[in-house]
Amino acid sequence: MTVGIVSYGGYVPRYRITPEVIGAVWGNDGAAMGKGLNIRAKSVPGPDEDVITMSVEAARAAMARVPWVSPKDVGAIYVGSESHPYAVKPSATIVAEAIESSPVMTAADYEFACKAGTAAMQTCMGLTLSNMYKFGMAIGSDTSQGAPGDALEYSASAGAAAFLIGTERPMATINHTVSYTTDTPDFWRREGQRYPSHGGRFTGEPAYFKHVLACAELLSKKAGIKPADYDYAVFHQPNGKFPLRVGKQLGFTDKQIDTGLLVREIGNTYSGAIMVGLCAIFDIAKPGDRIFAVGYGSGAGSDAFDLTVTDEIKNLKKGPRSMDSMVKDGVPLDYATYAKYRGKIVMRGA
Amino acid sequence: MAIPRFWREIPSRYNLYGSKCGHCGTLDFPPRTVCPECGRRSVGKMERVKLGGKGTVVSYSVIHDAPAQYEMMKPYVLAIIEMAEGCRLTSQVIDVDPAAVKIGMPVEAAFRKLGSEGEAGVIHYGYKFRPAG
Amino acid sequence: MRDVAVIGIGETAFGELWDKSFRDLGIEAGLLAIEDSGITAQDLDAIYVGNMSAGKFIDQEHVSALVADYSGLADQHLPTVRIEGGGACGAIAILQARMAIASGQHDIVIVGGAEKMTDVSDARAGEILSATADQEWESVFGATFAGLYAMMARRHMYEHGTTREQMAQVAVKNHKNGALNPNAQFQREITLDTVLKSGWVAEPLTVFDSAPLSDGAAAVVLCAMDRARKFTDTPIRILGSGQASDFLALHDRRDLTTMDATVVAGKRAFHAASLTPEHVKVAEVHDNFTISEIMAIEDLRFVKKGLGGMATEEGETALNAKVSVNTSGGLKARGQPVGAVGIAQAVEVVRQLRGEAGKRQVQNAEVGLTHTLGGTGATAVVHLFGRAN
């Protein structure tokens, strides 16, 4: 029995801020910063948006593409995020109510830095392959914050993607998946802290590169096909440089990576990162296309997926907005408005 | 707003559940127990129906003087929207330049935060509308 | 059914009355009305109080007993009634008191209305006002009171070609009248530019399109007509009253540019009095926003639907024109202590019909009208008053 992605939905909020605007506030050369990160702008959620609203938008888009799927058959919903609006109280139950899958189902929130969404995908694969549930919904969604002035502020953005996972009529089969996990404290946020901390350059070689490369090699071995045989590749994208470099090391071309590399226009969407990249690929993919995807979450681990697009992609119902249209529909913000929207201004107590 | 007061309206606030009169077929949002058209003939015949989420702007205002709850949003666009099913409701139009809003503009339902009980309290979610493509 | 007359009127100044409490205001207006009527407190059979939201403005409910108590009437053990109906509460209180007298239950009743709005912040006061709209299906979604009226204005502009300038003329006129009223909150004239260039509250309405937050109280003494001459030579008869309700939420109304409640309440009042709008020479209408007055003069049939803006611009509603509207300055200039509004409107019309309005006296006024709204028009009350010859 094969399992795969039955439908997908992505969401990118409308507001943007550029590295130049951020740099100007903190006395940094924002343009150089943006160039170094290969990020032209990052997405910013509106003041009435959070991980839950974005998850619902993505989940509804996924459901809208497959009207033949009853929401009551979505037996499990997992929302992966490092910026859940509640520390205690699941985001997933709200999504479940909003897509009308509740009450006979299970739901929970995941956290694994930037790979909580792919962890949810793997969980849903197991649950549906075992016939425990007909479909599972795996969501990666974040409204990530970098501390004001911190390097992360130039990239930490907002976005969400929802994948409906199941064995019935997948539009992309998941041929193989593999994970690689160690205890590597490269990035974290302690309980009660507003902004995350990170290990600076320690987040590179021993963290991102080690895990992504190791996991990718494990997947290649399992799948047994060469990089050149893939139509698309997507790697976790904390910036626009790392995924290109890791792709090159593995033997992928920039062209294969280009479609899923949304980070350049919208920044690092954290738990949404490789998933929104996959959404952009699905928007234009054809039956038979082969996709290589490797996520990464600090702390640290990688999940890798080998996917094949099926004929079912042609049966998806038109309607939900494409990633490209959402990525391009950006409204620039000044820093003050951005700071207001992101709750960085200390307000009078209510 | 007290938690149960918001919680019990979740079906309508999340998913636009209204009611349809089993006697005359008129749609109402939010759901009603008695049809304004049919009165007692409708009692016990009101069915729950989900609105499709598409509508047009009937009238609107850009709110500059906002209650504390919406201080962060202002100026925001308040609108009366006529749903494709015929009933009307009041909501906000988001993701739009206020100057671009027009009477007759097509909109579609989105899912947004409506407010929260301060920094520590529960968050309320529900429908707002964005321009329909 | 017995005829009922107003035999006494009293009102406080309206405004930001920092040194006066709700109690102070209610008692001041009540004592003035009793003094004006020539009765003694012992003549009273009951007290009716119009109050919108003392519970939210000053955390005090049960204000009917409070008013009786602080008026020194506790020992009389009078029946007291507090009426709530949004901004229309004072006008409903008059209607209920009139019915109590007409029925023979009471002979003499004092009807007071009061609101103390400045003990809370402006933002909080705005929230309290919007509580008369639909809290669950309007306010939760960010609808402010001004925002709802703004949507009526927008639609009126769209359907009837009403302009911002025409709406602004309502404010200009009412400030001009207010300048002649020593009890008004704003006693200075303003220009069209002042209205048009003031800050937005809710587009297309500006700060000067909106009535202020005010403290104030007003009271009238109602008496059975057959006993009225005993106390006064100029009883003012209540010729007819009409009250009507409508959908609570604006979006459910038949037409955003017409308040059906006003139309129906007006028809009922005119029918009861066997009069037509042409008989009315002086009218106090509910101008909480400038658009409200434009809709009111249309819905009361002083002008055709859609022509309210133009009629205002052409001066048809100015002092001593076709119909003198809001000679007191209206809610806009005289002030808007919500509970007092309906009563204060009656006070002004009675004053006009008695010929005691001084510099703002309307000539040869035989019939006067009050029009009061609750919420965004889910309640409307119309009273017609006339000189009892």
DSSP assignments along A141-206, one per residue? EEE--PPTTSGGGGTB-EEEEEEEEESSS-SEEEEEEEEEEEEE-SEE--TT-SS-EE-GGGGIII
- Residue ranges per structural domain of chain B: 53-131
Residue C381 has pLDDT above 70, yes or no: yes
Q: Per-residue pLDDT tens, chain A, 350 aa: give them.
A: 899 999 999 999 999 999 999 999 999 999 999 999 999 999 999 999 999 999 999 999 999 999 999 999 999 999 999 999 999 999 999 999 999 999 999 999 999 999 999 999 999 999 999 999 999 999 999 999 999 999 999 999 999 999 999 999 999 999 999 999 999 999 999 999 999 999 999 999 999 999 999 999 999 999 999 999 999 999 999 999 999 999 999 999 999 999 999 999 999 999 999 999 999 999 999 999 999 999 999 999 999 999 999 999 999 999 999 999 999 999 999 999 999 999 999 887 65
B chain contacts of residue A89, beta-carbon cutoff 8 Å: 122
Residue type, C107: D
- Pick the catalytic residue from A84, A198, A211, A236: A236
Look up A114 and say whether it is catalytic.
yes
- Give the CATH number of domain B53-131: 2.40.50.840
Give the pLDDT of residue A349: 66
C chain contacts of residue B68, beta-carbon cutoff 8 Å: 123, 127
User: Chain B within 8 Å of C126 (Cβ-Cβ)?
Assistant: yes
User: What's the sign of the alpha-carbon dihedral C221, C214, C86, B1?
Assistant: negative
Structurally, at CATH architecture level, domain A4-171+321-341 sits in: 3-Layer(aba) Sandwich (3.40)
Q: Which two tokens stand for residue C7?
A: 């035999």
Which residue in B112, B127, B130 has the most chain A C-beta atoms within 10 A of its own C-beta, making it the best mutation to test that interface? Answer: B112
Q: At what angle do helices C122-130 and C145-160 cross, to 10 degrees?
A: 60
Q: Using CA atoms, how far apart are residues C78 and C65, in angstroms rounded to an integer? A: 9
- Residue ranges per structural domain of chain A: 4-171+321-341, 172-312
Give the pLDDT of residue C1: 86
| CATH topology match: C4-121+214-228 vs C134-211+238-387 | yes
Do A350 and B73 lie within an 8 Å CB cutoff? Answer: no
User: Chain A within 8 Å of B104 (Cβ-Cβ)?
Assistant: no
A chain contacts of residue B113, beta-carbon cutoff 8 Å: 48-50, 53
ipTM value, please give it. 0.97
Give the pLDDT of residue C167: 98
- The residue of chain C with its CA nearest to that of B59 is C151
- Pick the catalytic residue from A57, A82, A153, A312: A82
CATH superfamily for C134-211+238-387 is Thiolase/Chalcone synthase (3.40.47.10)
Residue C324 has pLDDT above 80, yes or no: yes
- Please, are residues A268 and A237 in contact by the beta-carbon 8 Å criterion? yes
Do B65 and C141 lie within an 8 Å CB cutoff? Answer: no
- Please, are residues A170 and A4 in contact by the beta-carbon 8 Å criterion? yes
CA distance B111 to chain A (A): 6
* Residues of chain B where predicted confidence (pLDDT) is lower than 50: none
Do B115 and C152 lie within an 8 Å CB cutoff? Answer: no
How do C80-83 and C46-50 pair as beta strands? parallel
* Mean pLDDT within C13-32: 97
Interval C237-291: pLDDT, tens: 999 999 999 999 999 999 999 999 999 999 999 999 999 999 999 999 999 999 9
Fold assignment, A172-312: Peroxisomal Thiolase; Chain A, domain 1 (3.40.47)
Q: Which CATH number among 3.90.1170.50, 1.10.10.60, 3.40.47.10, 3.30.2320.80 corresponds to the domain C4-121+214-228? A: 3.40.47.10
Do C151 and B60 lie within an 8 Å CB cutoff? Answer: yes
Of C127, C152, C154, the CB nearest to B67: C127
Q: Which run of H or E residues covers position B128?
A: strand B123-131
Residue B46, beta-bridge partner list? B21
Look up A84 and say whether it is catalytic.
no
Do B94 and A46 lie within an 8 Å CB cutoff? Answer: yes
- Please, are residues C29 and C10 in contact by the beta-carbon 8 Å criterion? yes
Give the pLDDT of residue C81: 97
b/e code C281-297 from CB counts within 10 Å (16+ = b): bbbbbbbbbbbbbbbbb
